[in-house]
Amino acid sequence: MNADLHCHSTVSDGYLDPSALLRRAHANGVDLLALTDHDELSGVADAAREAALLGLRFVAGVEISVSYVDDTTIHIVGLGVDPQNPALLAGLARVRSGREDRARRMADELERIGLRDALEGARRFARNPEMIGRAHFARHFVASGLMPDVNTVFEHYLARGKPGFVSHEWANLDEAVAWIRGAGGIAVIAHPSRYHRLSSAALDKLVADFMDAGGEAIEVVAGAHTQKEVLRFAKLARKRGLLASRGSDFHGEAESVVDVGRCQPLPPGLTPVWSRLS
């Protein structure tokens, strides 16, 4: 069973439109795909239509930006959500609505260090104007020749502590999980290895808070995880009785190490989250 339950389209910061993404997933042997754009569900209708044409199983998904303790941003994926659910749609619209102001503040900070017109530049890369984010700024700086690749742009300008980083209030954990569950979905902690700001004790606390809120799953296999991290989070999932997810977090060939559908399989002794997806 080749399930890929985390990837992005042009509706957020992916490179392929939803239909093209589905065709790539099918060509790569994916049996079950979830499209999980950041804070946005407007790609799932096209994705579902293409999936039906290809005969590929598809579930609607979303990756919600969440502010957790000490101004740490974490990502919560929702799988199998009803893309028409009014409370979920309203919540996501509220989260998206902060992005424009954040982008302006980022551009102001970048201007202070002499990088002018970054907002106009970033806008050219944001196919969905409501979803402007750091990846679009990064692509602008690569295209303008300032930096060789997006990773280097993040390292120099966009990561926490760098000149273009501004702190921002996203959704809170409880409401993000509630929106997902209220829409009939399963909440998943995305790429847990990426939360470098959380100590191991703080990560345990996040898992506890997440489960108290009604969260049920964690990404054990993720594009960003090393083999060691896969085993670490497999152990955590078994210990806490969390369902295990698998997702490439594919954005596009230019930026992703792991292609859609090309993650390693889940380690043994786990309950795959897709056993609960119809």
**Residue 75 is a binding residue for Mn ion (CB under 5 A):** yes
Residues 4-23: x/- map of binding to Mn ion (CB under 5 A)?
Answer: ---------x----------
Q: Taking the CB of residue 228, how many other CB atoms lie within 10 A of it? A: 9
Hey, is 237 helix, strand or coil? helix
Nearer to ligand AMP, 24 or 251 (CB): 251
Binds 151: which of ligand AMP, Mn ion, none (CB < 5-8 Å by kind): ligand AMP
Torsion from C-alpha of 235, 236, 237, 238, nearest 10 degrees: 50
Nearer to ligand AMP, 83 or 133 (CB): 133
Q: Measured from the CB of residue 233, what is the shortest distance to ligand AMP in angstroms?
A: 19
Residue 200 tokens, joined: 């191991």
**Residue 154 is a binding residue for ligand AMP (CB under 6 A):** yes
Residues whose CB is less than 8 angstroms from the CB of residue 120 and which lie 6 or more positions away in sequence, other chains included: none
Which single residue is written with the structure tokens 């389209």?
Answer: 9
Binding to Mn ion in span 157-186, by CB under 5 A: none
Q: Rounded CA gap, 99 and 103, in Å?
A: 6
Q: Measured from the CB of residue 68, what is the shortest distance to ligand AMP in angstroms?
A: 14
Binding to ligand AMP in span 224-253, by CB under 6 A: 251
Among 61, 133, 192, 261, contact with ligand AMP (rule: CB under 6 A): 133
Q: Rounded CA gap, 137 and 45, in Å?
A: 27
**Residue 246 is a binding residue for Mn ion (CB under 5 A):** no
Q: Rounded CA gap, 5 and 38, in Å?
A: 13
